[in-house]
Amino acid sequence: MVAKLNLSIRSANIDDQRQLANLIHFETLVHRHLDWRPPLEWIGSEPYLVLEKDNNLVAALACPPDPPSVAWIRLFVAQEEKNLVESWSLLWSRALAQLSPGPNIQVAAIPLQLWFQRLLKVSQFQEVNKVVIMLWDSGTIPPSQPSPEISIRPMSIDDLPAVEDLDRSAFGSLWHNSQTSLEHAFRQAAVATVADFDGHTVGYQISTTLQMGGHLARLATHPQHQNKGIGYALLRDLLVQFKQRGALRITVNTQEDNPASISLYEKAGFTLTGETYPVFQYLPN
């Protein structure tokens, strides 16, 4: 335990849940990652650090790697704005020592608030990309398109190992989901489907419900089967299912530097909303 000006840092434990919940729900300086798992569920994974003053939690930082090569900043919360920089600096330096980022691990964040962006910038994080938001609200199902003789079926829990392998092949390392993360996504999904071809899973999608509609959280086609209409078929099938449920709006997020993905969604009737989220990565000099 390291102390400075009556402040001490330690790993969070299950007994901290109540104080952490109060910090997360009642303070204004809160960064939460766009995640399948709420912040309290990460307790027990490291680094998950709390800053104490007189036995009271005043700040917390969680950035446990998942998968092992990527550590997203999943939570940062501080009680007082006047001590914001100090709280961040103390927690981040300890987390950094635990992570030892380098060629084998990347540290990243999607900061939605300007105050957190400023903290990241002074800590050698750089903006490397943007997440763009797209919307389908026309109510018009796009026409079917030629595709291989695939079968689209509901995803099962037994599909997750194959889905994780596909996910690793389809996405860059920063965006790869572990099987554990995909299982959390699957259990929260409103619609989860896979596309099979010649006895192999070649595509999948996982979507959740939102008020008045749904959100396409993940869609991928194996690189060896891309540009064959499989992603479009999965997307169209999803829109049909959501429309049958009475959904009026479907959203999806993708990366600004992924024109193929943007083009696919536009082909199905999605439009860019103009809303973006910055992606920051720790890139020390």
What's the CATH code of the domain at 84? 3.40.630.30
**128, part of any domain:** no
Helices 160-170, 179-188: inter-axial angle, 10-degree rounding? 110
**283, part of any domain:** no
**160, part of any domain:** yes
Same domain, 272 and 165: yes
Same domain, 13 and 94: yes
Contact present, 141 and 261 (Cβ < 8 Å): no
**102, part of any domain:** yes
- What local confidence, expressed as pLDDT, does residue 5 receive? 58
- What local confidence, expressed as pLDDT, does residue 212 receive? 82
DSSP 8-state assignment for residue 124? T
Same domain, 7 and 137: no
Chain centroid offset of residue 215 CA: 13
**118, part of any domain:** yes
Same domain, 119 and 155: no
How far is Cα 40 from Cα 225, in angstroms, rounded to an integer?
Answer: 38
Same domain, 264 and 194: yes
**34, part of any domain:** yes
Contact present, 184 and 36 (Cβ < 8 Å): yes
Domain coverage including residue 165: 133-278
Kindly state the tokens that stand for 131.
């997440």
- What local confidence, expressed as pLDDT, does residue 1 receive? 46
Choosing from 91, 123, 155, the residue where a domain stops is 123
Question: Which SS3 state, helix, strand or coil, does residue 27 take?
Answer: coil
CA neighbor of 133 nearest in space, from 281, 265, 285: 265
Same domain, 193 and 260: yes
Same domain, 63 and 162: no
- What local confidence, expressed as pLDDT, does residue 55 receive? 87
- What local confidence, expressed as pLDDT, does residue 100 receive? 80
Same domain, 150 and 248: yes
Same domain, 111 and 217: no
Same domain, 235 and 116: no
CA neighbor of 85 nearest in space, from 47, 64, 65, 59: 59
How far is Cα 40 from Cα 17, in angstroms, rounded to an integer?
Answer: 7
Same domain, 266 and 168: yes
Residue 139, by phi and psi: left (phi above 0), alpha (psi -120 to 50) or beta?
left
Choosing from 83, 104, 123, the residue where a domain stops is 123
- What local confidence, expressed as pLDDT, does residue 250 receive? 97
Question: Biggest alpha carbon distance in the chain?
Answer: 67
For the chain, how many structural domains are there in total? 2
- What local confidence, expressed as pLDDT, does residue 3 receive? 45
CA count, 13 A, side-chain hemisphere, 281: 13
Task: Report residues of the chain scoring pLDDT below 50.
Answer: 1-4
Contact present, 166 and 176 (Cβ < 8 Å): no
β-pairing, 75-78 vs 56-62, is antiparallel
How far is Cα 166 from Cα 197, in angstroms, rounded to an integer?
Answer: 13
Same domain, 183 and 255: yes
Choosing from 66, 88, 123, the residue where a domain stops is 123
Kindly state the tokens that stand for 143.
């026409």
In degrees and rounded to multiples of 5, residue 15 shows phi and psi of -70, -10
**284, part of any domain:** no
